[in-house]
Amino acid sequence: MTAAPEKDCTETRSAVLPVRGWMSFGGFLNHVRYENLVAGLSGGVLSTLVLHPLDLVKIRFAVSDGLNLRPKYNGILHCVSTIWRQEGLRGLYQGVTPNVWGAGASWGLYFFFYNAIKAYKRDGRQADLSAAQHLVSAAEAGAMTLCITNPIWVTKTRLVLQYDASVDPSKKQYRGMIDALVKIYRMEGIPGLYKGFVPGLFGTSHGALQFMVYETLKIDYSKYRGRPSNAKLNALEYITMAALSKMFAVTATYPYQVVRARLQDQHNKYGGVIDVIKRTWGKEGVHGFYKGIVANIIRVTPACCITFVVYETVSQFLLDFRK
């Protein structure tokens, strides 16, 4: 693995010009590079393909609320082995299509918007942004991305929660991503495609915290080593900072993922975010809001590292190719 390029993993090498006027879409496009979009998409797709089974496990634990129709698992390994034994590899990759689309689009758009927002706030200056500015920039990028991708996450959750669908096709409510999108729209309308949107907006704090901690770690570490803030990281330093920032963000914000998954679950009905919180707290206590967190940490930490490394490699390749 090669060392990261001279600028950090969230820095757009080409977005140093100010983005003038958010209302001017043409002007906005003139000051951003699509390398960010393509590179982010590539990283998200690859990490999702490798680690989707753990995402499936996380969601199944997150919605585990005692309903008799749900399979009972004693832990991560028992869950994986049970699905493998009953449904094979296909079972472990239920819902992978919308997950790949969602992760690819989310990472691509996130890097695209985040770098553009940072360039706008710098207004052409080379000075470092403050931790608060990184936090707000990442939150804004996350909200913009969620508005576009939420329907994909709803279909992923619905497909992942088709229990025993590979064993008994008659239990398969949705045949695939497009079928799920069409059926949800026909039966539930636009609100159905945007279930979980409110906790998802809260979840933008996840990415905001991750990027804030990452950028702060990098700047502080560079100062400690007597380097410029945009100094080149070696592979181990880069991966360590990405992993630490991701674990911090997951631990701090995980409950929103449980709430969102339960709202999107087709096997239970809730009156909204407050209803989910009340019922989960009443029946399961604090533990209920952290179901599946171990599987999630095991999944997202390497996923984050894979995504960021692929992002750097692809964006550097595209920028060199453009020259």
pLDDT in tens, 103-139: 888 888 888 888 788 777 776 565 677 778 878 888 8
pLDDT score of 197: 92
> Which residues of the chain carry a pLDDT beneath 70?
1-33, 123-127, 164-171, 230, 232, 235, 322-323
pLDDT score of 322: 66
Residue 196 falls inside a structural domain: yes
**Helix axis angle, 131-160 relative to 96-122, nearest 10°?**
170
pLDDT score of 125: 61
Residue 208 falls inside a structural domain: yes
pLDDT digits (tens, 9 = 90+) for 5-60: 333 444 443 333 333 443 344 444 445 667 778 888 888 888 888 889 988 988 88
Of 236, 204, 209, the C-alpha closest to 221 is 236
pLDDT score of 227: 81
pLDDT score of 222: 84
Domain ranges, residue 203? 25-322
pLDDT score of 23: 39
The fraction of the chain above a pLDDT of 90, given in percent, is 17
Residue 133 falls inside a structural domain: yes
Determine the length of the chain: 323
pLDDT score of 18: 37
Residue 272 falls inside a structural domain: yes
Domain count, the chain: 1
Residue 8 falls inside a structural domain: no
Residue 220 falls inside a structural domain: yes
Residue 146 falls inside a structural domain: yes
Residue 86 falls inside a structural domain: yes
CATH classification at residue 51:
1.50.40.10
